[in-house]
Amino acid sequence: MMKISIVVPVYNEAEGLPRFLEALYSVMHAIGLPWTCLFVDDGSVDDSWAVIEHLSRDYSEVLGLRLSRNFGHQVALSAGIEHVDGDAVITMDADLQHPPDLIPQLVAKWRQGFNIVNTLRANTPDTEWFKRHSSALFYLLLNKISDIPIIPAAADFRLLDRKAVDALLSMPERNRFLRGMVSWIGFNQTYVPFVPRPRTHGSSKFTLKKMIHLGLDGVTSFSLAPLRLALMLGIGSIGLALAYAIYVLWVKLMTDYAQPGWASLMGVVLFLGGVQLMTLGIFGEYLGKIFGETKHRPLYFVQERIGILNPPDRKRSS
């Protein structure tokens, strides 16, 4: 019989977990396939782990994985996916913004033969203004420059079948931008729309800083365009500088106005300085990525497990 594994990253969600499980339970019960729910505690500093332990005593379906510190949403998802053995793996948030009611639709699409069933967030009026617009702009830019399509409003709420999971787990990179990675691996993919709910409790764990980091990872993990942009800007500014030098020479040789022009000099210096700094910044971003990857560090460490006896036998190459 096919088995479904639910993977839920948890960062300081103690008060919402029982309600989440309750909602999940009735939906999964109705589906009727064997299932488990793995809560990945991503270094919570509240009682989340205690709550997970408690839930696992009451519900045999509940498993737990506690990471040694906060590694971030994307890594927590990867860790969870690595530790489950379902024929289908569903990743979703713990705050009920990803409605469990959608799971039967995901499973139905899987049964139709899709390897990956993504979900698309429909914008609701109560999505925060800043979040809505920053996300729209980010995906617009990302798709302009990226080599693979990344659907805007895609959420990390999706179903992956075994093939897709194994493909993802075979990707050793440390910069995990799952939306991009999932798009990159291919297979039969489809999309199901959903209306995100307001968070049932607590507040978003995504600070502006975390969003910017995720955005940079998304751009630089899937595109060399910023590097090319640096090159183009460099060439362009050399061209401009040459043209200007010719003009300066002409003024010097042919006219009496040869005044050391402070303003234009400053203009050129500032422009070139800016281009150089930007170029260096872009190089640095990629260099940092290469540095991170070459260290071959594990993606995360596990502190405790519930219901998962052995480390996964499918080990990533690093």
Contacting positions for Mg ion (CB under 5 A)? 93, 95, 97
**Taking CB within 5 to 8 Å according to partner kind, which of Mg ion, ligand UDP, none is near residue 206?**
ligand UDP
Nearest-5° angle of CA 169, CA 172, CA 173?
A: 120
Residue 301: CA count within 13 A, CB half-sphere = 4
Single residue of 10, 84, 90, 142 touching ligand UDP by CB under 6 A: 10
Number of residues lying near ligand UDP (CB under 6 A): 16
Single residue of 124, 170, 204, 264 touching ligand UDP by CB under 6 A: 204
Token couple for 231? 């090159």
Token couple for 135? 């996300």
State the DSSP code for 156: S
Query: Which residues 49-78 are close enough to bind ligand UDP by CB under 6 A?
Result: 70, 72-73, 76
Residue 212 vs 265, nearer CB to ligand UDP: 212
Phi, psi of 304 (to 5 degrees): -145, 155
Contact 49, 18 (CB under 8 A): no
Residues 95-134: x/- map of binding to ligand UDP (CB under 6 A)? x-x-------------------------------------
Residue 61 vs 95, nearer CB to Mg ion: 95
Query: Which residues 206-225 are close enough to bind ligand UDP by CB under 6 A?
Result: 206
Phi, psi of 65 (to 5 degrees): -135, 125
Single residue of 4, 6, 7, 11 touching ligand UDP by CB under 6 A: 11
Under DSSP, is residue 46 helix (H, G, I), strand (E, B) or coil? coil
How many Cβ atoms sit within 10 Å of the Cβ of residue 158?
23
Residue 122 vs 269, nearer CB to ligand UDP: 122
**Taking CB within 5 to 8 Å according to partner kind, which of ligand UDP, Mg ion, none is near residue 11?**
ligand UDP
Residue 37 vs 230, nearer CB to ligand UDP: 37
**What is the closest distance, in whole angstroms, from the C-beta atom of residue 72 to ligand UDP in the complex?**
5
Report d(CA 263, CA 269) in Å as an integer. 10
Report d(CA 37, CA 206) in Å as an integer. 23
**What is the closest distance, in whole angstroms, from the C-beta atom of residue 69 to ligand UDP in the complex?**
10
Token couple for 232? 């183009």
Report d(CA 212, CA 210) in Å as an integer. 5
Residue 97 vs 115, nearer CB to ligand UDP: 97
